[in-house]
Structure 1
Amino acid sequence: MRKLAVVSGYATVDYPVRLAAPLSGAQTATVEALGRDGWPRPGGAALYASLRLAAAGHRAKAFVGLGDDANGALYLSACGAGNVEVEAFACDSQTHTPWCMLLYHDDGSYTCLLDRGEMDGGSLTQAQRQVLAHTDLVCIAAGPATRTAALLDNISARSIVAWIAKRDSVSYPQWLNERLAQRADLIFCNTSERAMVDSARLGDTRAGQWIIETRGADGVVLEGNSSRIELSSAAVRVRDATGAGDTFAGEVLAALLAGSSDIEAAARRGIDAARALLLTRAY
């Protein structure tokens, strides 16, 4: 059955690069542009997750902020190609579409330089509130904190809520993390974000809540309902892993939204979807 999913977050246009050497002090640094599928390219968790939900046949609606500019047009084009609907905030000459410079290092770590672009407004339109009142799933990724709080205020009690965590104290201050941890049915994080999630949960173990921790080549750990499940994943050599975790989350949510009650099977689908994305960037 086709369900309605809302995914919120930044609508970024991404510029992934590989650094030839660590940065220190005043210097000119040599970089390598990454991304065979376009550079720059539309990105952000809201897009990657929405694309997987739409590909599974669900109605995916991205709640994002856009400017009336070339990057906004590029983002909208990607959404249209992937059958993702857009409920845009701002989208006028007073704002610009967010963009992100992703600096990948040889040790596998990365630095995210984010121009948030849009105004940090928290108000929702009446139409957006009505969408939230009738949606089956709300997936919250990093975005303006006041807007995320407004979303939480308007989500139907019957909706499944997922939280894609990120180490970004502007988008996710502690007070908001605690609200998200209290409401979310599923929390997606990676190993570096797990401490943030645990801190937000304040030691509480909510019945029915699943923590889904991705560990790169070391697989995925599912924790919830007094259960712990470890899943393996095959390594893929890539310099640019942008969107893999968000693709994984979107595919897991697509399976659960379709009626699956098997979290392990849903996670395996997510692993396969993330691997498929990474294989397009393998070297």
Structure 2
Amino acid sequence: MSEPHKKEQLFELIRANPFISQQDLASQLGLSRSAVANYIATLVRERRILGRAYVLPDRRPIVCVGAANLDRKLRSLGPLGLGTSNPARQDESFGGVARNIAENLARLGAPVALVTAVGGDASGRALLAHAESAGIDTRAALRLEGAASGTYTAVLDQDGEMAVALADMAIYEALTPAFLASREQLRAGAALVVADLNLPQDSVAALLADAERHQTPLVLVAVSEPKMARLPRRLDGLRLLILNAGELAVRAGRPLDTDAEIAAACDALRRDGAQDVIVTRGAAGVLYTTDGGLARLDAPPARVVDVTGAGDAFAAAVCWSLHGGEADLAQACRRGLQLAADTIACEQTVSPALAPGRFDAPLNASPLNCQD
């Protein structure tokens, strides 16, 4: 077989499995390891691949790092009473901040890879199978036999507002800096990396250091007030931090009762190294940093069916805009608010009506028609 043909065969094997080892390539092609290394070096010089995990330049992905859970929603059928039994309806779905963002992005048509940890249980297998069916690349996920996959249980009142949530996220402690290092080339070749704060603090710090070294934009998404402790003090390398007002107050270490106090807290985050900050405020819209300070956008009207996943949808639309080269945070936030409104109108955590081209229509268009 001719040398050019061998090189093309090797390229097709890499296209099929970007994580394939040089030894596996050598075995499948009947070549020596050194010959495989030479072919790969040639493909890198030709810019047909960008190094391990052999990223193809025409499909640089958004890499989402963090939680992929089994979500349980218990919705009260009447006024919610504490300290007593409440009639309720239960639904199960797939969730987790990073996974939710990844599914929204995949439904919008972006190339997406998910770096997460799942157990060797039925939930873990189902999580990965569903993600793959949605178009998410899960080959970089960590599979832990003998461990339980993450779960998130939300209790909603009769109006769909969350009353309390319980999360078992212990498995994400396995997403250590050492594990993330094994996926560094995937992130180095990404168009954008987005991570949630279910990661250990030293892992978040490692992502920041890698983002600064590789000049790959990094977006961090807060998940709760207690997990703000996982956000490092220095944020050099951070393109964008998305968090709500309560989480910002935890970072600031004081109540933030006015827009001026919120603006001062955002300024402090920028002095700590963050390029930009978005503060979500539910039905009150969002605040976002600009060269001149802090700007506000109101949320569009929305029919509230279930608020679960709205924040993740907002973050996904913002990341979709950044991935597309959108430098205007105002436009990115408008898209985020629209997608959040679409999600609030659905019982599902990710709107099943979402599809590529959603943002081709005017942003004041009617929400998606979400069918159960």
TM-score interval for Structure 1 and Structure 2 normalised by the shorter chain = 0.7 to 0.9
- The more displaced of 242-251 and 77-86 is 77-86
- Within 5 A, what are the aligned runs for 1:5-44? 5-19=62-76, 20-24=79-83, 27-33=84-90, 39-44=91-96
Distance verdict in 2 for CA 1:279–1:248, change over 3 Å: same
- State whether residues 165 and 197 of structure 1, in contact with CA within 8 Å, keep that contact through their aligned partners in structure 2: no
Q: Does 1 or 2 have the higher relative contact order (CA < 8 Å, sep 6+)? A: 1
Query: Cα gap change, 1:17/1:42 in structure 2, threshold over 3 Å: closer, same or farther?
Result: same
Deviations 1:43-78 (A, max 9, x none): 111112112332343321111110112211221122
Partners of 1:228 and 1:102 in 2: CA distance: 32
Judge which range, 198-207 or 232-241, deviates more: 198-207
Gaps of 5+ in 1: 34-38
More helix by share: 2
Which is richer in strand?
1
Percent of aligned positions that are identical: 25
The aligned counterpart of 2:279 is: 213
Matched, 1:71 2:123: yes
Contact 1:97–1:118 under 8 Å retained in 2: yes
Partner deviation per Cα, 1:144-167 (whole Å, 9 max, x = no partner)? 314434433443431111111122
Q: What is the TM-score with the length of structure 2 in the denominator?
A: 0.65
Residue 36 of structure 1 is matched in structure 2 by none
Letter of the structure 1 residue corresponding to residue 89 of structure 2? E
Q: TM-score scaled to structure 1, two decimals?
A: 0.84
Equivalences for residues 1-283 of structure 1 within 5 A? 2-19=59-76, 20-24=79-83, 27-33=84-90, 39-86=91-138, 87-89=140-142, 91-105=143-157, 108-118=161-171, 120-121=173-174, 122=176, 123-124=178-179, 127-145=182-200, 146-155=202-211, 156-169=213-226, 171-173=227-229, 176-179=231-234, 181-199=235-253, 203-206=268-271, 209-281=275-347
Structure 1 pair 32/56, CA: closer, same or farther in 2 (3 Å)?
closer
- Where do 5+ consecutive residues of structure 2 fail to align? 1-57, 254-264, 348-369
Q: Which amino acid aligns with 1:66?
A: V
Task: State the 1:204 CA deviation.
Answer: 4.9
- Mark the CA change 1:17 to 1:211 in structure 2 (over 3 Å): closer, same or farther: same
Q: 1:205 Cα deviation (Å)?
A: 3.0
- Structure 1 or 2, whichever has the larger Rg, is 2
Deviations 1:201-226 (A, max 9, x none): 79353487221122222112112322
2:82 maps to amino acid: L
Displacement of 1:7 in angstroms is 1.1
